[in-house]
Amino acid sequence: MDTLVSSGKRMKTATLLNAVAALTGVLASIGLAWAVLYQPDFADYLIAISAIGLTLALIYFDPLLAFLVWLFFIPFAPFWRFDLHMPAGIPDLSYARMVGSVLAVYLFAQVALGRRKFLTITFFELAIPFFLIPLLWSAIRAYLGWLWGLQSVFDAFLIPLLAYFIARQLLTKPEDFRKLAMAILGITIIIAIAAIVEQATGFAPFRFGIGARVYSGDIRKVSSFLANPAYIGLALAVGVPLAIMLSIEAKAYRHKALYLLGLLILEMGIVATFNRSAMLGGILGPLVFSILNRRLLKYVLPVLLIIALLVGLSWNALEGTSVGNRLGAESPIDYRLEAIKTGLQIHRSAPYLGVGWGWFGRLAAGLGFRENGVNVLSTTHNSYLNFLVSGGYALLGGYLLMMLGLGVTLAVIGWPRRKERILFPLYIQMAMGALFAYVAPIAFFDNAFSNYANLIFFAVMGGAISATLGGGSLTDDFLANATGA
């Protein structure tokens, strides 16, 4: 009898709590609607605090889910008012900065408290300080001041490296990595569809930036979500090997078909950017993946040969058209060659530690170099040249050492796990493809501005290494205490 009474009380309590939660939700919705209509500035703060707060709360219940939610919603943050803008002189508390930083601190705290094992150190982790130290020194001497410099490098490089460490700590088995791959594939497909629609119709509800809207003729300069065709294309190129990997792993034919459809959408999105560096990444990723897989090569190589043949046969017909003019444009090549010449001239004035972050445009203008028709200072349009000018041999050498360390890490952990006639396991094949799809295109634009592409690239690298090698799993003592065993 007492048991029935106790059970009845619990049911009433649960019903009451559900009613309170529902009422709170209704009142919050009404309050938000009022704020949007009558106090839009306050509504922006309310939306940002809610989005950041809910994602941070999710960290406590399921850190991996919070990580995936964070990665998925970052491109939407500027449009859905997830970023908390602060007064002048105070860094904005953006969704990407806040959630990524808190999640990293949470995981490092678990390691410090002995609740989670620290990741296995690889060549990549050992090489990171050789990049970060000269990067921070360059940022402190930035053209627009040390605060701007630190914010710039934090968003472009430190948050992506935090994403790498988060992936290494959270993704402890292949199933976790598949979740990460599907989340990144999902958002990159959305970005690709937005680019395709913008190129075809001009409709761009998530258009970011106020730059030129066309390249030439009727070829649009798409900027949906990520502000620039090169940054869009780089993110999609990183997603291409993931789509191939998921299609290989899928058991059911309908799932394979869905992933292959996603692959097709990504490649179409890359074409829609009409950016040649993006197209290079979209080709290199599958090609390297297939060379390492071998079985995949018999499918990928004929497709690439057919595409090359079609382009070659139709090139005469394309000449004189907007498409032909864009794909065959020589002025961007001339600009980059002149930028290299000017950059090397600036580099000679401070060869070892560079001139400081963001100084290229001002110093190049002083030497008479500016991009025609542009009212802002020029950029290097070459990530490696940017590192050389900004931080000298120390920064460029540190970055090359870090990326070399990443490649060596993938090879070292993959080689002992190889199978007959296959050089590396599947996740390492995919990661190698993504690595080449990333490092080649950034030679033709500044990855200091492709924040989201950098972020998902390093998250993928961390996930692939962790799923192959093992991540920072929860300790046995913590699991025993948590389960009461």
* Cα–Cα distance for residue pair 130/402, rounded to 1 Å: 7
Burial of 291 (0-12, 13-18, 19+ CB in 10 A): middle
The pLDDT value recorded for residue 39 is 55
Contacts of 232 (CB under 8 A, 6+ apart): 191, 195, 222, 223, 224, 225, 226, 269, 273, 275, 278
Structural domain boundaries enclosing 427:
114-483
- The answer as to whether 145 is a domain residue is yes
- The answer as to whether 44 is a domain residue is no
The pLDDT value recorded for residue 9 is 59
The pLDDT value recorded for residue 317 is 66
- Contact indicator for 387, 448 with CB cutoff of 8 Å: no
Amino acid at 363: L
The pLDDT value recorded for residue 412 is 92
* Cα–Cα distance for residue pair 94/152, rounded to 1 Å: 13
Tokens representing residue 175 in the block: 């199933």
Whole-angstrom CA distances from 253 to 258, 259, 260, 318 are 9, 10, 10, 38
- The answer as to whether 298 is a domain residue is yes
- The answer as to whether 150 is a domain residue is yes
φ/ψ (deg, to 5) at 350: -150, 75
Amino acid at 259: Y
- The answer as to whether 57 is a domain residue is no
* Cα–Cα distance for residue pair 283/321, rounded to 1 Å: 24
- The answer as to whether 326 is a domain residue is yes
pLDDT tens for each residue of 120-171: 889 999 999 999 999 999 999 999 999 999 999 999 999 999 999 999 999 9
- Overall domain count for the chain: 1
- The answer as to whether 258 is a domain residue is yes
**Number of C-beta neighbours around residue 199 at 10 A:** 22
Instruction: Tell me the mean pLDDT per 10 residues along the chain, length 485.
Output: 55 64 57 57 80 92 96 94 80 91 94 85 95 98 94 96 96 92 97 95 80 75 92 97 94 93 95 93 94 83 78 67 78 91 95 96 87 68 97 98 97 77 80 97 95 98 89 56 52
The pLDDT value recorded for residue 77 is 93
The pLDDT value recorded for residue 20 is 62
- The answer as to whether 162 is a domain residue is yes
The pLDDT value recorded for residue 273 is 94
The pLDDT value recorded for residue 231 is 97
